[in-house]
Amino acid sequence: MAILSVDALEARHGLLQAVRGVSLRVEAGETVALVGANGAGKTTLLRTVAGAHRASAGRVLFDGADITALPAHARVKLGIALVPEGRRLFGGMTTEDNLRVAERRGRAGPWTVERVLEAFPVLRPKLKARAGDLSGGQQQAVAIGRALMTNPRLLLLDEVSLGLSPVAVEQLYASLRGLMRDGTTVVLVEQDLSRALAVADRVICMLEGRAVFEGEAARTTRADVLAAYFGLGAAAAP
């Protein structure tokens, strides 16, 4: 059974329908990359799965249970964690305090401050520093670490490399690859298509709120995805 199933999901921003009848499945331990142009509905889809945005139709199932009506905090308790675009840290609090805030909201499990520091060693010398004083890459590491402190079974990552230097992106993805090797289930929104194809098991391309392409990352070419990305009618990869 899939850990996450999305069935004919729709979500709106007022009169704008941002997600249009999307259906997808994510298996436990899998990494799925969501790609597509700005405004394709990727962020709204992640937020709707996490409970931060209300679905207007369709269903979200987690471990086979319908969670469509559950609030975000209840989904965190079940094991769903969202790292939002823009990080949204408590800038006046220390790195450690940002991590421990999440610790009180999540499930029991193996993730502790020490384990986060092992996964993101760049944070160890910054543990007592204010989050607002950190570099962009360090802040993103804190945001991911904060999500991990809830001991998630499903980690939703929205544009984690956006606005970071190439060095910071590489450091961040080195840590993420470790999480993926350890079996963490990840749904990742990533603008860098080459990086998305390199780390994901499957890739799904969205266009104007719809999932228009799905394929195994290892058997999917840039041409396949770009054709779907620009609405040129690419078929699903084998």
pLDDT in the model for residue 124: 95
pLDDT at 175 over 70: yes
- Per-residue pLDDT tens over the stretch 34-92: 999 889 999 999 999 999 999 999 999 999 999 999 999 999 999 999 998 877 888 89
In this predicted structure, what is the pLDDT of residue 232? 65
- What is the dotted CATH code of the domain comprising 4-229? 3.40.50.300
- At 177, the pLDDT band (50, 70, 90 cuts) reads confident
pLDDT of 192 reads 87
Which residue has tokens 């990494």? Answer: 31
Give residue 16's pLDDT: 92
pLDDT of amino acid 51: 97
Q: For 184-222, write each residue's pLDDT tens digit.
A: 899 999 888 888 899 999 999 999 999 999 999 999 988
pLDDT at position 23: 97
pLDDT above 80 (res 237):
no
Cα 94 from chain centre: 24
Higher pLDDT, 112 or 231: 112
Q: Is 100 exposed, middle or buried (0-12, 13-18, 19+ CB in 10 A)?
A: middle
pLDDT of residue 35: 93
Residues 161 and 184: their CA atoms lie apart, in Å, by: 19
- Asked if pLDDT for residue 234 goes beyond 50, the answer is no
Residue 235: the pLDDT is 43
pLDDT tens profile 114-154: 999 999 999 999 999 999 999 988 999 999 999 999 999 99
Residue 69 in 3-state DSSP?
A: coil
185: exposed, middle or buried (C-beta count within 10 Å: 0-12, 13-18, 19+)? buried
Provide the pLDDT for residue 233: 55
Q: What CA–CA distance (Å, rounded) separates 213 from 133?
A: 40
Residue 192 phi/psi, 5-degree rounding, is -80, 100
**Domain boundaries in the chain?**
4-229
